[in-house]
Amino acid sequence: MIEHSVQIRVRYSETDQMAYVYYGNYASYFEVARVEAFRRIGFSYKEMEEAGVMMPVLEYKTKYLKPAKYDDLLTIKVYIKNKPGIRITFDYEVYNEQHVLLTVAETTLVFINSQTGKPMLPPPVFMSFFEKYYTDDKQNQIQNS
């Protein structure tokens, strides 16, 4: 399993009239967590797109347990629990500074050939970054230093 955490400070513009994070902003937070998790293992979204592979979101599920508020320092934990195939699933947990779980979510992305628009297996170079985390049912973690 791959695990990575990022921190994001809630900006005023991301809140609603109640000073709670507007629900639509969580998708951006999760994107930051995904990109940084990939960067941490040495992989770049940009390089994959340049190689002709896109990763649109296929499914997005979120459960809001408690509100995040203006100026909170949020920790977004992202997990990749299973080796990717045509699809890759990310699980998320959002915590405030008091370590209270605020939100849980899941996104599933699909690998798409940008020329044909059809689903495809991830490129071998991409899968090589995952091999050390998903070999022989051995589960490893990447954590922040």
Residues 64-102: tens digit of each pLDDT: 999 999 999 999 999 999 999 999 999 999 999 999 999
Amino acid present at 4: H
In the chain, the number of structural domains is 1
CATH number at residue 80: 3.10.129.10
| Tens of pLDDT, residues 9-54 | 999 999 999 999 999 999 999 999 999 998 988 888 888 898 899 9
For residues 132 and 58, what is the distance between their CA atoms, to the nearest angstrom? 26
**pLDDT attached to residue 131:** 79
Which residues are paired to 105 by β-bridges? 62, 92
- Whether residue 140 is contained in a domain is answered as no
- Whether residue 100 is contained in a domain is answered as yes
- Whether residue 40 is contained in a domain is answered as yes
- Whether residue 138 is contained in a domain is answered as no
Amino acid present at 123: P
For residue 36, the surrounding DSSP H or E stretch is helix 26-40
For residues 50 and 140, what is the distance between their CA atoms, to the nearest angstrom? 29
**pLDDT attached to residue 115:** 95
- Whether residue 145 is contained in a domain is answered as no
Q: Token pair for residue 34?
A: 């995904």
**pLDDT attached to residue 48:** 87
For residues 139 and 145, what is the distance between their CA atoms, to the nearest angstrom? 19
Nearest Cα to Cα of residue 129 among 68, 41, 44, 64: 41
Residue 53 sits in which domain range?
2-133
Contacts of 47 (CB under 8 A, 6+ apart): none
**pLDDT attached to residue 130:** 80
- Whether residue 144 is contained in a domain is answered as no
